[in-house]
């Protein structure tokens, strides 16, 4: 998927966990008045991000839990968003550049992250995020190196969002192998939607089960 030019991506990533992603110019007729109020006073670019994220979240809710599509979304500073009147339902929103994503989980915390591939190298960030794989990654072609950094970061960021810590949780310390499609961190499972989205997009959610499923051990081959 190329944000801004292709249809919205929406799908189930695990039992009772769904993700939606698409362009920032979200195809929704009119924003919810409460979302407009929440965006009031923000810088124009930030307001556009906020409204796109809320629109994506409401569309996902309309598809998987229609009775919650009009619920009030509360977002306290430094805290993940939540739905008023739906304590068992967790939600997450992400945006970067022209891409926006949202996730909904019915049985525990959830985090979603979308990232555009950077247009320049970030060697220091590459070393921090890829850790033991950084030396190998440094030898890859530039485009692959940048793309893998974005994919790895989405998985790391999704995990700390689901944990409710954000950057305070030091996402770069989470071991995410390059080209991986999924794995576990603490009591969370993360999935990178490599087979569905051209824009790096990952989701993390609560999964108390022991062991790894096939998706965790599968590795996407480099072209």
pLDDT per residue as tens digits for the range 68-77: 999 999 987 7
* Residue 189 vs residue 107, higher pLDDT: 189
Which of these ranges, 16-20, 181-185, 212-216, has the smallest mean pLDDT? 212-216
Over residues 92-116, the mean pLDDT reads: 95
- When pLDDT is cut at 50, 70 and 90, the band that residue 78 belongs to is confident
Distance CA(202)–CA(156), nearest Å, equals 9
Q: Confidence class of residue 26 from pLDDT cuts 50, 70 and 90?
A: confident
| Full-model pTM | 0.88
Q: Whole-angstrom Cα distance, residue 89 to residue 82?
A: 8
Angle, alpha carbons 11-77-184 (nearest 5°): 45
For residues 200 and 117, is the Cβ–Cβ distance under 8 A? Answer: yes
Q: Shortest CA distance to 101 belongs to which of 153, 175, 24?
A: 24
φ, ψ at 106 (rounded to 5°): -100, -10
Structure confidence by residue, pLDDT tens digits, 36-68:
998 998 999 989 999 999 999 999 999 999 999
Residue with the two structure tokens 């924003």? 31
């Amino acid at each position: 998927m190329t944000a801004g030019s292709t249809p919205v991506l929406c799908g189930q990533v695990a039992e009772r966990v769904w993700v939606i992603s698409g362009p920032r110019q979200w195809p929704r007729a009119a924003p919810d008045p409460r979302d407009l109020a929440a965006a009031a006073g923000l810088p124009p670019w930030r307001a556009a991000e906020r409204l796109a994220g809320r629109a994506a979240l409401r569309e996902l809710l309309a598809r998987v839990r229609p009775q919650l599509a009009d619920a009030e979304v509360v977002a306290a500073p430094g805290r993940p968003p939540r739905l008023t009147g739906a304590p068992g339902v967790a939600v997450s929103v992400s945006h970067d550049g022209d891409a926006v994503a949202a996730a909904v989980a019915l049985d525990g915390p959830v985090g979603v992250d979308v990232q555009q591939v950077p247009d320049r190298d970030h060697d220091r960030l590459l070393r921090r995020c890829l850790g033991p794989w950084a030396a190998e990654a440094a030898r890859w072609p530039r485009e692959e190196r940048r793309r893998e950094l974005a994919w790895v970061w989405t998985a790391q960021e999704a995990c700390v969002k689901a944990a409710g810590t954000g950057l305070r949780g030091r996402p770069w310390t989470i071991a995410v192998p390059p080209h991986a499609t999924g794995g576990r961190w603490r009591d969370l499972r993360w999935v990178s939607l490599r087979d569905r989205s051209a824009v790096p997009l990952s989701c993390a959610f609560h999964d108390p089960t022991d062991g790894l499923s096939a998706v965790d051990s599968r590795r996407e081959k480099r072209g």
